Amino acid sequence: MSLKTALALTLLCLLAAVVSCNRSTAPASSKLLIYTPHGQAQLRDFIARYKQQHPNTDIQFLDMGSREILERVRAERNRPQADLWWGAAHTTFQTAADENLLAAYRPSWSDKVATAKHDPQDRWYGIYETPEVIVYNSEAVRPEDAPRDWDDVLDPKWRDKVLIRNPNPSDSMRAIFGAMIWRFYKDTGSPEKGYDWLRRLDANVHEYTADGTLMMQKLARREGAISLWNLPDVWIYKEQRSFPLAYVIPASGTPVISDGIAIVRGAPNEAEAQRFYEFATTPENLIQAARTYYRIPVRTDIDRSLLPAWMNEPFNRMPVDWDLLRNQGNEWLRYWDTEIRGRSK
């Protein structure tokens, strides 16, 4: 072998060794797919900050309603696509858990939430609280004239002035409709008086909108004067989009959803899902979500002085049998859809 050939082979070996070394020491890239109803602003914010710590993670997300996520995860159960499900009512997560769609994962802060705020088998954990409220256009309705309680929304003076988001795909509206039926069901064992309440509401409804965004836009344009919706969204549209909105927490009490997080069973990237799960639920990021996206944290170890002042104001919680609502809710909504909706004019 000539000296020139020997030198060339030596250089090739050294180059191969350097490339091999670089490949072995470079951080491996990973992927993560998140299903969420939390909206693109919050998702892009959290993903950008996550990638500052984990720049090699390729994160994708699908933004859709929580009930749509449930249907999608069901359809994909034999070949899961999503890794992390971030955002849905505890009732929806429990249904998914009962159908064996979620993986067990106990987060590092599991002892910092009440027992009722997570699945006993660790398949989902609540991270935010979501009260339901009466919302109104503050330019069209004076504060002293706004409804103070649920039954006030049935007053004939609101005829054709109420906007309601279609409840079937919405955890918030399912909670509100279910709670209205439960108020009577707990004493009578029957949904009939609750159905009567929904009929009287239907008589005042101007429109059932396809989604919450459209409902808020129509409310701001005075296509309706009042609505029923969740408190974090009211704050977002009021503060970040300058919609003329105000709200009332009903005097008799409000149902409060535990909004949760879970890892999809069979997730293709389970380790990365666990890492993002922990990231999104640190005290720092829960405070960020509270200040910027008006999400009320569930964790008991959060410094409440760092939260917006309104989050520390007491309010009356409505006691609700959530298991009953979860088990009977589809039938109640089916009856509303076929026998009540649009029939009370």
Of the candidates 345, 38, 21, the one whose C-alpha atom is nearest the C-alpha of residue 203 is 345
Please report, to the nearest 10 degrees, the dihedral formed by the alpha carbons of residues 63, 288, 299, 242 taken in order: -70
Q: Is residue 9 part of a domain?
A: no
Same domain, 220 and 333: yes
- pLDDT per residue as tens digits for the range 72-96: 999 999 999 999 999 999 999 999 9
pLDDT digits (tens, 9 = 90+) for 163-175: 999 999 999 999 9
For residues 219 and 46, give the distance between their C-alpha atoms in angstroms, rounded to a whole number.
Answer: 29
Same domain, 211 and 274: no
pLDDT at site 344: 84
Task: Indicate which CATH number applies to the domain containing 175.
Answer: 3.40.190.10
Is residue 154 located within the same domain as residue 268?
no
Does 229 lie in the same domain as 145? yes
Task: Please check whether residues 193 and 324 belong to one and the same domain.
Answer: yes
- Asked whether residue 118 falls in the same domain as residue 34, the answer is yes
The predicted pLDDT at position 189 comes to: 97
Specify the amino acid at residue 47: I
Query: What sign has the CA pseudo-torsion 241, 246, 250, 251?
Result: positive
Task: Report, in this order, helix, strand and coil percent for the chain, each rounded to 5.
Answer: 50, 20, 30
What value does the mean pLDDT of the chain take?
92
Expressed as residue numbers, the domain containing 114 is 30-129+258-307
Strand partners, 63: 36
The pLDDT tens digits for 143-152 are 999 999 999 9
Would the pLDDT of 180 be above 80? yes
Taking the CB of residue 309, how many other CB atoms lie within 10 A of it?
8
Binned at pLDDT 50, 70 and 90, residue 115 comes out as very high
Residue 30 makes CB contacts below 8 A (sequence gap 6+) with 54, 56, 57, 58, 269, 271, 272
142, 34: one domain: no
Number of domains in the chain: 2
Is the domain of 243 the same as that of 98? no
| Whole-prediction pTM | 0.90
d(CA 285, CA 318): 28
Same domain, 218 and 333: yes
- Mean pLDDT of the region 248-255: 97
Whether residues 183 and 321 fall in one domain: yes
pLDDT of residue 2: 53
| Contact indicator for 263, 321 with CB cutoff of 8 Å | no
Residue 249: is its pLDDT beyond 50?
yes
At 11-56, the pLDDT tens digits run 444 444 444 444 333 345 699 999 999 989 999 999 999 999 999 9
CB crowding 64-85: b at 16 or more within 10 Å, else e: ebbbebbeebeeeeeebbbbbb
